[in-house]
Every structure is written in structure tokens, then in C-alpha cells.
Amino acid sequence: MGETSAYERFCAIVDAASAVAGIEDPGVLEAIKRPERVHEVSIPLARDDGRREMLTGYRVQHSSARGPYKGGIRYHPNVTLDEVKALAGWMSIKTAVVDIPLGGGKGGITVDPHKLSVTELEALTRAYTERIWRVIGPMVDVPAPDVNTDSRVMDWLEDEYARLSGHDAPAVVTGKTIEHGGSLGRDTATAQGGIDVLEAALAAAGENLRGKKVAIQGFGNAGSNAAILLQQAGATIVCVSDSTAAIRKAGGLPVGELVEFKHKGGRFADLKDYEKLGTEAPLFEPVDIVVPAALEGQITAHNAEQVKARWVVELANGPTTPEADAILAGRGVKVLPDILANAGGVVVSYFEWVQDLHSERWMLEEVQARLAVTMRRAFDAVTEIATRKNVTLRLAAYAVAMRRIADAIGIAQPLPQAKVRQPGL
Ligand code: NAD
């Protein structure tokens, strides 16, 4: 697992799902795997002390077969072209699973943003935008936040794009602040979409969330909102972790208090009156539902046997390794895969894009209702394939997405030579 790159892992699962998707043409399979376009840029960064540094950034445009490229921008020291290519591919799959008319892309800068001042972060974002603005646009490629980028960064990107292109175009980027054209409901969208899928899966098994015990790894945007929403739906949150520690309370944790504590910058390791455990503890608690909402590669071949829950809801991207996936499937643990379970974020990003293109403002209730319908449809399509082909929900989700992309690629192919009309004929 350590030796395979992220992009190799992306290609491996696409290969694995090809038979389920009924894609036999190696050319079509290759088109699904390979990015249409890769941009590598050198970004001049003016430091506050007057020094000038050159950083490297990327924008990978993976697939436009189903619509404009869509995907976040990541600021992280470990960003590599290989990783951005994989993440872009996963975006193409994700937008196709939930059947929104967008393709997949991803961007990134190899940088540790925590070492930059706010002025430097803004300068970096504007310099990166200057390098890529000619290849993005509301109908071409629509970035969004990802690791270490937020609504403020998206506002800067939008502003710089408007300055360079000479016209306001809020739909060039999503995940903006509400004041700059962001959508209501975007902050809770990933958690809400995951719970919509979970409720559908439980209902199909004749169950519901009432009285279910839940443990959550990660208490940021995805994890803390999931805790709030799951508790509202009648579940009990018994164990949560951040990057410093896990805390546990059999009768149920005070979710509201913990959210406030984290908003003030608190660390679970500093909380008094709680039993402290390792950060991975929530994954192995004796609960009904485990929600990985932190990092990738958390459930592995080494620890998959210790997972006691019957349901795993992957709000994080790639929290389960392929080896662990097979072990969990063998033990009858139902995994709601990331490309379906955490797609709520990109769905509401799509709603933001539509609202900005049409100068509309949707009410929160409208956003949530449309999200629920979109997630439910995606779940039904994936479940139908999983049942009919007797495969995991993950493989079925890839197959559904790949079939849709393959069908779109088919339309985009040029006409055979004989049918092309010659000028003057
Ligand atoms: P975030 O930065 O808001 O929160 C991450 C949380 O994980 C923090 O509480 C952090 O303390 C915790 N954490 C970090 N390392 C940990 C460790 N070793 N053990 C336990 N906890 C740890 O990030 P987020 O936006 O909530 O994203 C979390 C995951 O969900 C990522 O994999 C991300 O790609 C995925 N995701 C998020 C969204 C979204 O809209 N936010 C959408 C799709 C996927």
C-alpha cells in the first residue's frame, strides 16, 4: 500500500470496477483514467520581509465529459502532481455518482500555509489565480475549497479572477462566503449528505437512527456537523476525536458544548473530566455506526478486524485502504463509500454555481430538500447495481459513475470520417 501512489490507486479501482460497469473498450477505460489536461505553474510569492520565493502549483482538469471541471484547491506541503491527478479523477467519479452536470478537476500548491501570514496567503492565492485564470471560468473549470483553503481564499480567487478578466463572475468558484455569492447550507452539506445516505441505507435494512450509538473520528467541518445532525436525528454520540485525543462518554457526549469548545480553538487533549484515548479510538468502539471524518488511510489491513460497528460512513476521503475494505466486506460490515457518502459538499457547490449563474438565492430549506433528493437518487442507483451484481457499494458506486462518464465520452467522440460534411458538398 505504501508503494502505490494515489493515482495508481485511482487507476486500480477504476480497473476493478470496469467489468461491473460493462466497459470493455480499453480506449474508453483509458479515457476515464487519464486527465484531459494538466497544468503545472510557478507561482511567485512576495514574503512580508521583502523576499521573493517561487512555489509550484497545479490544476489538473480530469474530465469534462459531463460538464465543466469541478474540484477543490489544496494548500499543503505534501501536494504532488500525482496526488492532484488522483484527486481530480475522484472528483470526476464523485460528480458522476450524484449525477450533477459537472466533470472533475483539482488544484493545489505545494506549501505549508500555516507558515504564511494572512497577507502572504492572499498574495499567494492571487498569484496562483493569475497563473491559472485563463484556463478556468464559470463554464470551463470551477474550483472550490479543499484542505487548508476556505471561503476567504475562494473570495480572493473570485476577486482576482474578476480583476484579470474584467468582469464579475461569481460562478467561477464555489465555497465562497454568503456575502460573495456563497450558498446557504454549504457548511453543513457534506455531513447532511452523508446522513441522507445513511438514513436511506438504514431504511433499506429496516432500521433507523433512533437510539443508534455513534463514534466519530475527526471533529472539524465534516465530523462536528455530523455529530450535531446525528444527535438531532436521535442517535447518541459516545466517542469523538480530534488530532490530539479521543474522548468517550457511554451515556452520550454533550455535542453542543464540544462544538463551542472547538470553535474557540480548544484541543480535546486539554479537556478535563473525560477519559482520554488515542485519536484512532472512535474507529474501534463498540458502537453501531463509525464515522471516519479526519484523514485518509485510517482503517487498514492491520486494524480492520478491530472495527466493531456494523456501519462505516466515510465522510473523510479515502479513510479505508483497499485491503481493509476487503476485510470489512468479508465480515459483513457495511461501508458507505466516500465517493457517495461525502458527495453532499460538491452537490451544494453545484447548487451555488447554479444560483450564481442565474442570480438566484435559494432558501436553506430548498437547498436541503434538493440535496436530500439528489443523495437519495444516487443511493438508489448504487444500491440497485450492488444488489444486482452482488458487489460492494464502493464498487457499485464506481461502476455507476464510470458508466455515466463512458456514455458521455461516447457522445463527445468525433463523427466517423465518412459522415463529416465536406465544405461545398
Ligand atoms: P477539517 O480540517 O475541518 O477537520 C479535520 C478534523 O480531523 C479536525 O478536527 C482535526 O483535529 C481532526 N484530525 C486530524 N488528524 C486527526 C487524527 N489523526 N485523528 C483524529 N482526528 C484528526 O476538515 P474537514 O473539512 O472536516 O474534512 C475532513 C475529511 O472529510 C477530509 O478527509 C476531507 O477530505 C473530507 N471531506 C470534507 C468535505 C467538506 O465539505 N468539508 C467534503 C468532502 C470530503
Q: What is the DSSP string of 149-167?
A: --HHHHHHHHHHHHHHHSS
Q: Is the CB of 244 under 6 A from ligand 1?
A: no
Contact 133, 60 (CB under 8 A): no
Q: Is the CB of 355 under 6 A from ligand 1?
A: no
Q: Give CA–CA dist 378/381, Å, rounded.
A: 5
> Ligand 1: distance of its center to the CA of 315 in Å?
8
* Grid cell for residue 144: 472550490
pLDDT tens for each residue of 170-228: 999 999 999 999 999 999 999 999 999 999 999 999 999 999 999 999 999 999 999 99
Give pLDDT, residue 72. Answer: 96
Has 106 been annotated as catalytic? yes
Which amino acid is residue 78, in one-letter code? N
Nearest CA to ligand 1 atom 15: 243
Give pLDDT, residue 416. Answer: 56
Contact 281, 248 (CB under 8 A): yes
Q: Give CA–CA dist 90/71, Å, rounded.
A: 9
Q: Is residue 425 pLDDT above 70, yes or no?
A: no
Q: Which of 186, 270, 295 to mutate to test the pocket of ligand 1 (most atoms within 8 A of CB)?
A: 295
- Dihedral angle, C-alpha 169, 170, 171, 172, nearest 10 °: 70
Nearest CA to ligand 1 atom 5: 220
Q: How large is the average pLDDT for residues 416-420?
A: 54
**If we measure between CA atoms, which residue out of 350, 308, 305 comes closest to residue 323?**
305
Q: Is the CB of 317 under 6 A from ligand 1?
A: yes
Q: Is the CB of 208 under 6 A from ligand 1?
A: no
Q: Give CA–CA dist 127/272, Å, rounded.
A: 44
**If we measure between CA atoms, which residue out of 339, 406, 404, 395 comes closest to residue 29?**
406
> Ligand 1: distance of its center to the CA of 256 in Å?
18
Give pLDDT, residue 242. Answer: 96
Q: How far is CA 247 from CA 217, 227, 238, 254, 318, in A?
A: 10, 14, 8, 11, 24
pLDDT tens for each residue of 70-105: 999 999 999 999 999 999 999 999 999 999 999 999
Q: Is the CB of 241 under 6 A from ligand 1?
A: yes
Q: Measured from the CA of 294, which atom of ligand 1 is nearest? A: 7
> Ligand 1: distance of its center to the CA of 326 in Å?
24
What lies within 8 Å, CB to CB, of 298 at 6+ separation is: 217, 280, 283, 292, 316, 319, 320
DSSP state of 416: P
Q: Is the CB of 242 under 6 A from ligand 1?
A: yes
Q: Is the CB of 245 under 6 A from ligand 1?
A: no
Q: Give CA–CA dist 241/248, Å, rounded.
A: 9
What lies within 8 Å, CB to CB, of 336 at 6+ separation is: 194, 197, 198, 201, 311, 312, 313, 314, 393
Q: How large is the average pLDDT for residues 144-157?
A: 95
Q: Is residue 276 pLDDT above 80, yes or no?
A: yes
Q: Which of 94, 315, 351 to mutate to test the pocket of ligand 1 (most atoms within 8 A of CB)?
A: 315
Q: Is residue 413 pLDDT above 60, yes or no?
A: no
Give pLDDT, residue 296. Answer: 87
pLDDT tens for each residue of 376-392: 999 999 999 999 999 99
Cβ density class 124-153: b for 16+ within 10 Å, e for less: bbbbbbbbbbeebbbeebbbbbbbbbebbb
Q: Is residue 420 pLDDT above 80, yes or no?
A: no
Of the residues 70, 85, 106, 213, only one is catalytic, namely: 106
Contact 318, 296 (CB under 8 A): yes
Q: Which of 176, 241, 243 to mutate to test the pocket of ligand 1 (most atoms within 8 A of CB)?
A: 243
Which amino acid is residue 43, in one-letter code? I
**Exposed, middle or buried: residue 282 (CB in 10 Å: 0-12, 13-18, 19+)?**
buried
| Helix 393-412, helix 364-389: angle, nearest 10 | 100
**If we measure between CA atoms, which residue out of 297, 299, 269 comes closest to residue 282?**
299
Give pLDDT, residue 1. Answer: 45
> Ligand 1: distance of its center to the CA of 259 in Å?
14
Q: Is the CB of 209 under 6 A from ligand 1?
A: no
Q: Give CA–CA dist 106/95, Å, rounded.
A: 13
* Grid cell for residue 11: 487507476
User: What residues does 214 pair with on adjacent strands?
Assistant: 237, 289
Strands 69-76 and 141-145: parallel
pLDDT tens for each residue of 312-359: 999 999 999 999 999 999 999 999 999 999 999 999 999 999 999 999
Q: Is residue 421 pLDDT above 70, yes or no?
A: no
Q: How large is the average pLDDT for residues 23-39?
A: 96
Place of cell 485519536: 279
* Grid cell for residue 348: 451544494
Q: What angle do CA 413, 417, 420 make, to 5 degrees?
A: 85
The structure's pTM equals 0.94
> Ligand 1: distance of its center to the CA of 104 in Å?
21
Q: How large is the average pLDDT for residues 268-287?
A: 95
> Ligand 1: distance of its center to the CA of 243 in Å?
9
Nearest CA to ligand 1 atom 32: 316
What lies within 8 Å, CB to CB, of 284 at 6+ separation is: 303, 306, 307, 308
What lies within 8 Å, CB to CB, of 189 at 6+ separation is: 344, 345, 347, 348, 349, 367, 371
Q: Is the CB of 402 under 6 A from ligand 1?
A: no
Give pLDDT, residue 4. Answer: 86
> Ligand 1: distance of its center to the CA of 143 in Å?
19
Q: What are phi and psi of 321, to 5 degrees?
A: -75, 160
